[in-house]
Structure 1
Amino acid sequence: MNGDIRHSPLGAAARGLDGLNLFVANIQTGFGPFIAVFLTSMGWTQTAIGIALSIGTVTAMVSQVPAGAVVDAVQRKSMVALASVLAFAGSALMFALWPIPLSVYLAEILHGFSSCTLGPAIAALSLVIAGSSSLGVRLGRNARFASIGNGVGALLMGACGYYLPERFVFFLTAVLTVPAVGTLVPLARYERLVATEAAASEDAEPEPVRSARRKAIGQLLLDRRLVVFALCAALFTLGNAALLPLASSALTKRAASEANLLIAACIVLPQVIVALLSPTIGRLADRVGRRVIVMLAFAALAARAVLFAGITQPVLVVAIQAFDGVAGACFGVIVPLVTSDVAGRSGHFNLCLGLVGFAIGIGAAVSTVLGGWTADRFGEAWTFLGFGAISVVGAGLTWAAMPETRPGAG
């Protein structure tokens, strides 16, 4: 039986989705800190670099909800993923070939919007492949391959930037879109097969049943479950986003020449934890419910913040980052899972995912500004404790106000 599944269109599509998550993570690594390194080598000032990066950040934030609506409107999600990956290639080539302000700004806008369409498209394809009953396990698998891709991508891009001129990082990023496109072939084939079967099934479904199933957008976006979860997600990123930059600054002061190595370890260790833990988190979410996973994420975040406040030894600071892996695995799985629970078969899954993504973006943006301001005025230890307190507030909100969304839960 397992052999039949492995060689079936479903098995091929599942492997294609594994590969897509892996290569997309590779590609996204090329748009990380390497942009600042490359533009610095091109003679850009820090102010100009900051403007360029801010354009990308703002684009990604304001595009979350519109991009989700676009993905919902397009029937073939694999085509959205294809367009997004090709946009990544175009953006990377614009960086490499024309590192002038107008081109860089356009590349940032293109990459920012495409990131907002690709994430929901991957989540929607996961739902097509796994169905709602097994979505938690599938999302855990997605997170595992994305974490592996992040690690491999960092090694590839780092080696490329070390041995070759900086612009070759973006050429490599563009090249990596080729296998990503290849992974979409079995996904598109399976999606066509499912669409054909669904059309036949829907034709047999009475119109009143179809109408009742498709909730109005306003009703869905005001659903208490979605609103409370979006607030929880915003609080999570508010308490999380600034922790690693603050810890990295502290490491730079204390570890001097070893700081870069220690910071790299702080980035890699959580990725390893996410890769190992995500499938288990997905299964656990299906077994014990979503609220438990959200509470676990906030508990790991609070523990990390408090430990950062009290521990200054560089090696132990790296070890504390294991909690980031636990929290990251929990939220990486739970965000699309809860959104799928709420949206159901309404046809607005990606719009809801965009709303949660917008809340996450606001939390992250406020976190970094708040972290820098409080660290300058009150010191790093009190800042870490403050972020730990935010985590406790998030856990309290989850416990008191977030309904359980797992199908079949009482």
Structure 2
Amino acid sequence: MALRSLQALCLVNFFLADVRDGLGPFLGIFLTEHHWGADNIGWVMTAGGVAGLVATLPAGLLTDMTRYKRGILLAGSLVITLATLLLWYFPDAGIAVFSQVATGLAAACIPPVLTGITLGLTGHAGFARQMGRNEAFNHGGNMTAAVIAGLAVWYWGTGAVFILMTAMALFAALAVLAIRSADIDDNAARGLGKEDAAPEIPRLSLIVRQPALLILGVTLLLFHLSNAALLPMLSMRVAASHSSTLPAGVYAAATVVISQCVMIPVALFAASRANKQGYLLLITAALLILPVRAAVASAFSGSFSMIPVQIMDGVAAGLLGVAVPGYVVQILEGSGHINAGQGLIMLLQGGGAALSPALAGNIAAKYSFGIAFGVLGLIALSALFVWGAGNYCSGKKRLKPLS
């Protein structure tokens, strides 16, 4: 494997961290400052999520088929940046929906391509370790961007976040170009050996016949239906209450910094333990954390309650960021459909994440933020039940880790 390309891949993950999610939690803050209600903000976020669903599975299929993975990353970053800058200048309803739809479509292409490039550079043997590095750099990029964004918002207002994202996109593009195309083994990138013949078009029928993959997908749909709205709701509760000693934008940055700081060591830990404990145990541990996180968010409304909430978010996300792609690779190894399988999982995850803000936003607008957090906690428990019951009923024994 080429050291320079792997180093560049780490930098790509670092700089794309702030780009692929668009404004992230700052979207709610930005629109709240322009007098949007929680329910309308939730629907705009959902519009972007639904648009991403349209592109998610095709993005996985495309990653298995194409040799131009670097070009997809460059194009996706450009679209996200331009769409977000457009919202900065024109924060009305039509532009907001268009911006989030364009961002969702482009962002859906980035994760499967990054996974494919990683597999193409490392092969199966080095995949888990490199995914740990990828996630560590990704979380480090998010944390760095959040710190800079918090300071910039403090001095110049929420608009500074748009400038920061544009700068990160530029550096991400330079890092993508530093990855040598010749170092990427396109057969390995889709889970095949060098001499294996691959079908030009992956067959979805092969993927949907994998019960382990479907159990994982439904579980993660429920997980993200619960999880996706937690951080935006925390930030919006502070923005709506006007009782915090910190500006809402700085509060949002602090929530990101805390979780991302935790995710870095957790991702490296997950990568180091994946070959010994297996991916099933890591995923189960992450699922156990989310109901507790939602319960704390529901029970405590003070600004500092976000500290334990975001620490738990960092642990769960750090585990899943390494374990889920690794588990999919393990299930589909040798099929030539690994990135299509990743796309299916991302489709189901995205379905939950897309509905989550609208669900929580409408509950918060009609009842309260506390009740919204309580409902999200019940959904988190259902994810844990599906995971346990699904694996038990299928009679699935613990899979051997990748060798």
What is the CA distance between 1:210 and its match in structure 2? 2.9
Aligned position for 1:277: 266
* Aligned-partner Cα distance in 1 for 2:102–2:294: 35
The change in CA–CA distance for 1:168 and 1:266 in structure 2 (over 3 A counts) is closer
Query: What do residues 101-128 of structure 1 show as CA deviations (whole Å, max 9, x unaligned)?
Result: 6655443333211101111111111112
**SS class of match (1:256):** coil
Aligned position for 1:56: 48
Q: 1:302 aligns with which of 287, 291, 302?
A: 291
**SS class of match (1:335):** helix
Aligned position for 2:276: 287
The change in CA–CA distance for 1:272 and 1:196 in structure 2 (over 3 A counts) is closer
Aligned position for 1:386: 378
Aligned position for 2:24: 32
Native 8 Å contact 1:213 1:346 kept in 2: no
After the TM superposition, which residues 4-153 of structure 1 pair with which residues of structure 2 at under 5 Å, given as runs? 10-28=2-20, 31-35=23-27, 37-38=29-30, 46=37, 52-96=44-88, 104-153=96-145
The change in CA–CA distance for 1:359 and 1:159 in structure 2 (over 3 A counts) is same
TM value normalised by structure 1:
0.80
Q: 1:335 aligns with which of 306, 315, 324?
A: 324
Query: Which residue type is aligned with residue 312 of structure 2?
Result: F
The change in CA–CA distance for 1:399 and 1:40 in structure 2 (over 3 A counts) is closer
What is the CA distance between 1:329 and its match in structure 2? 0.8
Question: Which moves more between the two structures, 275-284 or 148-157?
Answer: 148-157
Native 8 Å contact 1:214 1:346 kept in 2: no
Identity %: 24
* Aligned-partner Cα distance in 2 for 1:368–1:105: 14
**SS class of match (1:67):** helix
Structure having the higher Rg = 1
TM value normalised by structure 2:
0.81
Native 8 Å contact 2:147 2:257 kept in 1: no
Q: In the alignment, is residue 236 of structure 1 matched against residue 228 of structure 2?
A: no
Q: 2:182 aligns with which of 192, 204, 207?
A: 192
The change in CA–CA distance for 1:33 and 1:314 in structure 2 (over 3 A counts) is closer
Q: Give aligned pairs, total.
A: 393
* Aligned-partner Cα distance in 2 for 1:97–1:388: 37
After the TM superposition, which residues 308-323 of structure 1 pair with which residues of structure 2 at under 5 Å, given as runs? 308=297, 315=304, 318-323=307-312
* Aligned-partner Cα distance in 2 for 1:152–1:40: 24
Query: Which residue type is aligned with residue 192 of structure 1?
Result: A
Question: Which moves more between the two structures, 15-24 or 137-146?
Answer: 137-146
What is the CA distance between 1:195 and its match in structure 2? 4.2
Aligned position for 1:218: 205
For CA contacts below 8 A with separation 6 or more, give which structure has more relative contact order.
2
Native 8 Å contact 1:301 1:391 kept in 2: no
**SS class of match (2:125):** helix
Point out where structure 2 has 5 or more consecutive residues left out of the alignment. none
Aligned position for 1:326: 315
What is the CA distance between 1:320 and its match in structure 2? 4.2
Point out where structure 1 has 5 or more consecutive residues left out of the alignment. 1-8
